[in-house]
């Protein structure tokens, strides 16, 4: 993960400096996702911290589920279906994706 300086008092009370600081953090998060071709387990923690989670709040089960889903989808996404060994039924794909989206929404307090 890229490193950046902590938010200083000077930056916190200067609107332009604060905007720049926040834009830099968003840029770091976007680069993490782009360079990782999606979100994998090792980067989920980094993105969680950037989103305001503390280390003890990181959901390791959700992280593992995202990683597992990515591995399965990657097999299909990077090969033709006739060369892939892990093809799920569309209903299973839908259920897995829906469960992950709901898990992410709960994790980031987007739904109750």
Instruction: Note the pLDDT of residue 80.
Output: 62
- Per the CB < 8 A criterion, the answer to whether 103 and 67 are in contact is no
Looking at the predicted structure, is the pLDDT value of residue 8 above 80? no
- Looking at residue 1, its pLDDT comes to 47
Contact between residue 87 and residue 81 where contact means Cβ atoms under 8 Å apart: yes
Check pLDDT > 70 for residue 6.
no
Read off the pLDDT of residues 35-81 as tens digits, 9 standing for 90 and up: 766 667 778 888 888 888 998 999 999 999 988 887 777 666 666 66
Mean pLDDT of 13-40: 81
The whole-number pLDDT of residue 50 equals 82
Sign of the dihedral through C-alpha 73, 91, 66, 86: negative
Q: What is the DSSP letter of 5?
A: P
The answer to whether the pTM exceeds 0.85 is: no
């Amino acid at each position: 993960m890229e490193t950046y300086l902590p938010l200083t008092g000077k930056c916190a009370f200067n609107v332009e400096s604060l905007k720049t600081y926040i834009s830099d953090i968003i840029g770091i998060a976007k680069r993490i996702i782009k360079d990782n071709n999606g979100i994998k387990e090792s980067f989920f923690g980094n993105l969680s911290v950037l989103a305001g989670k503390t280390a003890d709040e990181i959901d390791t089960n959700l992280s593992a589920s995202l990683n597992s889903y990515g591995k399965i989808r990657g097999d299909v996404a990077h090969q033709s279906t006739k060369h892939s060994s892990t093809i799920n039924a569309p209903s299973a794909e839908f259920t897995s994706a829906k469960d992950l989206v709901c898990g992410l929404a709960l994790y980031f307090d987007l739904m109750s």
